[in-house]
């Protein structure tokens, strides 16, 4: 049976939550493989809105196993709050429906404190972090001083892990003007929360491989977008993990050969939250119109998103790096009513034409977009579920996007409602 990876192909906020929910109905297992609770997915099901941050989107679907993989960094207190919120909305979450990989690193309170202190004192440019401790937790993982889910099961191991982390963090905190960490308080807080977290813990890699062998369909859900990838994004204005499709394997413990289809989620225009280069950003009425019509505010932070025209150069780049087989083009309806539309087809840098975004930050900042203009459409595409429901100009726009990014459209989304989707290619087809 086919296994599908869903990744964002822009700067995040592409509408992955709806697409994952749409696909999860046909999947048996849904796996979150990277990121933290800085990512927000909004699902609208039968008019009811669910906002997810740490939990996989599949938890709102009954009869599915949702897995938080080892590539995620997990705030255990936030997770339990999120579980309680969803239970209040009638969603049943149990150890039978939710699994946490035993080797998942934990975000602790001092990670968030460090994150916010650094951003507040940044003298060389802010990164635009959400201040939730995601980056410092990944740093501790690489530095081999993080506390993992399995460590909660043994008091002696937990104390050793805490002591190792505190040697590093107390020195950092002193330099930032923060007081030392309360060791006893931290250990007590972790011991108190341990039973609630450990009941979901399991060797996820083993379970996933067994599910695969038994023919179960697995859906791998990414957070953020490829342009925020720690290696291939607009560094240093990126997230702290690998976001591209290859991370689905290492972030869950299943081999890359298990991946049959990579679906890239792409918005019909471009948005970005926070700092960093954005070649097609608009500061005029068109940009304001895109933001208002698209309700462009962050699910997690509420921050207003920067808006601009579709950047085919960046999406083509993202599709190549993630090995995308097809894209889900979302929010096409936001473009309704524009007399003219623009698509970025290249960049100019110091008089030279480029077909990709350069790696050097100073060059990225100097890139100016080369636009191709297209006719817009006045008819509404909102709620369209068939190609025949779309205006001719909208179909022409979609086809031109396919040509420019060198990747076919597999799905087309025309509203936040899950049923307002045109299926072109079934990612789960065998």
**Element of type H or E holding 326:** strand 326-330
Catalytic residue selected from 41, 53, 111, 169:
41
Catalytic site residue 168?
Answer: no
420: left (phi over 0), alpha (psi -120 to 50) or beta: beta
DSSP state of 34: S
Q: How far apart are the first and last CA of the chain?
A: 6
Catalytic residue selected from 13, 21, 75, 333:
13
- Whole-number Å distance between alpha carbons of 3 and 176: 46
Alpha helices in 40-182 (DSSP H): 76-88, 109-121, 134-142, 155-175
Mapped onto helix, strand or coil, the DSSP state of residue 402 is helix
Q: Is the dihedral of CA 94, 96, 97, 99 positive or negative?
A: positive
Catalytic site residue 41?
Answer: yes
Of the candidates 278, 305, 280, the residue with the CA atom closest to the CA atom of residue 291: 305
DSSP letter string, 261-297: EEEEEEESSEEE-SSS--TTB--SHHHHHHHHHTT-B
Just list the catalytic residues. 13, 41
């Amino acid at each position: 049976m086919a296994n599908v990876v869903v990744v964002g192909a822009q700067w995040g906020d592409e509408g992955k939550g709806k697409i994952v929910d749409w696909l999860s109905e046909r999947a048996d297992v849904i796996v979150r493989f990277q990121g933290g609770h800085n990512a927000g997915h909004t699902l609208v099901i039968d008019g009811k809105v669910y906002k997810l941050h740490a939990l996989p989107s599949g938890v709102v679907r009954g009869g599915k196993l949702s897995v938080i993989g080892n590539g995620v960094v997990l705030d255990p207190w936030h997770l339990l709050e999120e579980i309680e919120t969803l239970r209040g909305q009638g969603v049943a979450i149990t150890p039978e429906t939710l699994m946490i990989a035993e080797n998942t690193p934990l975000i602790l309170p001092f990670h968030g404190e460090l994150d916010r202190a650094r951003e507040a004192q940044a003298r060389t440019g802010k990164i635009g972090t959400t201040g939730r401790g995601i980056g410092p937790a990944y740093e501790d993982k690489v530095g081999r001083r993080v506390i993992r889910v399995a460590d909660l099961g043994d008091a002696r191991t937990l104390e050793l892990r805490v002591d190792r982390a505190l040697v590093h963090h107390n020195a950092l905190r002193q330099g930032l003007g923060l007081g030392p960490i309360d060791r006893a308080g931290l250990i007590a807080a972790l011991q108190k929360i341990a039973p609630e977290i450990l009941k979901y813990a399991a060797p996820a890699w083993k379970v996933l491989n067994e599910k695969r062998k038994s023919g179960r369909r697995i859906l791998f859900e990414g957070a953020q977008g490829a342009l925020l990838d720690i290696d291939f994004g607009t560094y240093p204005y990126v997230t702290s993990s690998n976001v591209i499709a290859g991370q689905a394997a290492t972030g869950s413990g299943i081999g890359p050969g298990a991946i049959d289809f990579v679906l890239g989620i792409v918005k019909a225009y471009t948005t970005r939250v926070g700092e960093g280069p954005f070649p097609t950003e608009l500061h005029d009425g068109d940009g304001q119109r895109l933001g208002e019509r698209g309700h462009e505010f962050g699910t997690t932070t509420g921050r207003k998103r920067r808006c601009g025209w579709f950047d085919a150069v960046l999406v083509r780049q993202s599709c190549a790096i993630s090995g995308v087989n097809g894209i889900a083009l979302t929010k096409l309806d936001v473009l309704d009513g524009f007399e003219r539309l623009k698509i970025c087809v290249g960049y100019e840098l110091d008089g030279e034409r480029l077909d990709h975004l350069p790696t050097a930050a100073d060059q990225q900042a100097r890139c100016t977009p080369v636009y191709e203009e297209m006719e817009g459409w006045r008819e509404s595409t909102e709620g369209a579920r068939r190609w025949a429901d779309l205006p001719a100009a909208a179909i022409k726009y979609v086809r031109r996007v396919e040509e420019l990014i060198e990747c076919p459209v597999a799905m087309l989304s025309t509203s936040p409602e899950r049923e307002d989707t045109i299926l072109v290619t079934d990612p789960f087809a065998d």
